[in-house]
Amino acid sequence: MLENTENDGVQMVDELPLILKLNANTEPLEWIDYEDYAYYASTNKILDSMGKFRVMLRGGINAVTGKQSILELDSIIIVDCDVSPHSYRNHAPALTNPALFERDRNTCGYCGRTFKRKDLSRDHIHPISKGGKDTWKNVITACVGCNRMKDDMTLEQAAAKFDMELLFVPYTPNFHEHLILKNRRILVDQMEFLMKGVDKDSRLHHNWN
Ligand SMILES: [Zn+2]
């Protein structure tokens, strides 16, 4: 996450973060980049902004005037569009290791300790070899050691043999959480906005609030 500085509500950045786009009902829809932002601005589609900060990017030096160009953007914008977030919500977040580790906050679901990502793996709670599926609800972050120990045992077998148990319940991230997991460079005000819509049981709340 990027740090917002309180200086006049403006944050200087060297690389543009993504901008959070909301519909007229202030429901979040997607992350957009500067080109989309410029399009909405030039077509007067931006109705309002909900960010606490504006983002400023230092551009190139103009060869004629010698002045440095500055781009100033709102971090969260309301765009004039009828789109309901439901059309986005139908897309379940892609199950990738980085998204899974993010969902579980880099915490092993069996020993409960946190690890660096390189020491983590995707464990299929009900093993693929026994008919388990590669879905959000059947996967948990596991450290390499726990994953090796559990091997291709079911939860019941691992409990009987090693006293291993699942410490938290796997779930499919909701749409707000999906947006959080998708963007590695979320601004503080964007995070605050999105966290309001994240299920209270989500592990994202463990490292936030
Ligand atoms: Zn572990």
Render each residue's pLDDT in the chain as its tens digit; 209 residues.
Answer: 444 444 556 666 667 789 999 999 898 999 999 889 989 988 999 999 998 878 777 767 778 888 877 777 899 999 998 777 766 665 667 899 988 998 898 999 999 999 999 999 999 999 999 999 999 999 999 999 999 999 999 999 999 999 999 998 898 888 888 888 888 889 989 999 999 988 777 777 765 44
Please tell me the predicted confidence (pLDDT) of residue 67: 82
59 C-beta neighbours (distance < 10 Å), count: 11
pLDDT at residue 202, rounded to an integer: 78
Ramachandran category for residue 199: left, alpha or beta (phi over 0 → left; psi -120 to 50 → alpha) = beta
* Ligand 1 ion: Cβ-proximal residues, 5 Å cutoff: 108, 110-111, 143, 146
Q: What is the pLDDT of residue 54?
A: 81
Mapped onto helix, strand or coil, the DSSP state of residue 36 is helix
Helix (H) / strand (E) containing 72:
strand 68-74
Q: Ligand 1 mean position to 117 CA, how many Å? A: 12
* C-alpha–C-alpha distance, residues 189 and 10, integer Å: 12
Per-residue confidence (pLDDT) for residue 91, from 0 to 100 = 60
CA of 14 to the centre of ligand 1 (A): 38
Ligand 1 midpoint to CA 109 (Å): 7
The pTM of this model reads 0.67
Rounded CA separation 153/172 (Å): 23
| Ligand 1 midpoint to CA 122 (Å) | 11
pLDDT computed for residue 165 by the predictor = 94
How many Å lie between the centroid of ligand 1 and the Cα of residue 141? Answer: 9
pLDDT at 115: 97
Rounded to whole angstroms, the Cα distance separating 181 from 194 reads: 11
CA of 112 from ligand 1 middle (Å) equals 6
Please give the pLDDT value at position 87. Answer: 64
Ligand 1 centroid–CA 86 distance in Å is: 36
